[in-house]
Amino acid sequence: MLTVEEVKSLVGKVKDPILDVPLEETKGIVNVTIKEEIAHVSVKIAIAQLGGQPQLDLQMAIVEVLKENGANTVGIRFEELPAETVESYSATSKDQPQTIEGLLSKDNPVEFIAIASGKGGVGKSTVAVNLAVSLAREGKKVGLVDADIYGFSVPDMMGIDERPGVDGKEIIPVERHGVKVISMAFFVEENAPVIWRGPMLGKMLTNFFTEVRWGDLDYLILDLPPGTGDVALDVHTMLPSSKEIIVSTPHPTAAFVAARAGAMAKHTEHSILGVIENMSYFESKETGNKEYVFGTGGGEKLADELQTELLGQLPLEQPSWNPKDFSPSIYQTEDRLGKIYQDIAQQIIDKTTK
């Protein structure tokens, strides 16, 4: 495992993206901590200017060099260098490009909410699209990134059959049910497999944040890939801050696996908003009897383990479809699950606007 001095040496050779000077020279490495038992490295970096593509490129470079040298996961926080330090390198930096202000700017008030799970098949994407729509129904300005690069499904779930527009160098997201949507599905042939490797996927995710014309947003919902792989980690390291909702079924094993996703959020210094238990039970419309198909207690146990709240329990139920506005996975406001999602959306608003 890397030592603190080795981390400082490796990261110190990476250049400040604005000043074009190694971080070791600018004294830009503020702090380094290491959790040896999980091979997690946390670094705090001071740079000349926060926000935009240069900071994002620096994040990716630091993550890459540390993972190549033995780190399993990397957490990065940024702050600005003292003004006098920046001024001392002004001759070097005056011809450097300015940062691109946008979604990742430190001054952007958007709330990033990542929807995560420990494994596939627990309904994470269904939760993501319905929470996005429910927040929009509450009058919020909402964007949705289908960051499940290998298993993208959001456009089909929302009944989207159009492609994003292009205006100059900007991508115009598709808007559906009041939600602005971007997905890998828009950029591949229909149902074609994605066989890209990590760096190419990271670049596509970067484009989702920096080259899409999102406009003013209150919330950006991210449908993360299941588990704790490279794509999920890339998203965590790209964002200046993020809150996370963990989705699980009531089965104890599913909850145990989901705890890993929650642990990664904590290790990368992001916060957990709560847990949603999906497929909690099936209730017969004829008898009213509840059948606990996948067991009970998993969501509560997971919430306790992650020291957070159980935001809601979602029963097994088919959405009611509007044939004139077909969205196969979106619950209507009058549906029982639609009302539960609306309650969860209100909890999210309460938690993020205090």
pLDDT digits (tens, 9 = 90+) for 62-77: 999 999 998 999 999 9
pLDDT at 205: 75
pLDDT band at 99, cuts 50/70/90? very low
Q: Which tens digit of pLDDT belongs to each residue from 9-53? A: 999 999 998 888 899 999 999 999 999 888 899 999 999 888 777
At position 246, the amino acid (one-letter code) is I
Segments of the chain assigned to CATH 3.30.300.130:
4-93
Half-sphere exposure for 195 (CA within 13 Å, toward CB): 3
Q: What is the pTM of this model?
A: 0.68
Question: What is 4-93's CATH topology?
Answer: GMP Synthetase; Chain A, domain 3 (3.30.300)
At position 158, the amino acid (one-letter code) is M
Segments of the chain assigned to CATH 3.40.50.300:
111-352
Distance CA 243, CA 91 (A): 39
Q: What is the mean pLDDT of residues 130-159?
A: 91
Nearest to 34 by CA among 69, 60, 61: 69
Higher pLDDT, 240 or 347: 347
Nearest to 133 by CA among 344, 314, 354, 321: 344
pLDDT band at 96, cuts 50/70/90? very low
Tokens found for residue 253? 């094993």
User: Looking at the predicted structure, is the pLDDT value of residue 173 above 90?
Assistant: yes
Tokens found for residue 74? 């990397």
pLDDT at 264: 65
Give the lowest-confidence range in 169-178, 195-204, 297-306, 329-338.
195-204
User: Looking at the predicted structure, is the pLDDT value of residue 94 above 50?
Assistant: no
pLDDT band at 326, cuts 50/70/90? confident
Question: Average pLDDT, whole number, for the chain?
Answer: 83
CATH class, 111-352 region: alpha beta
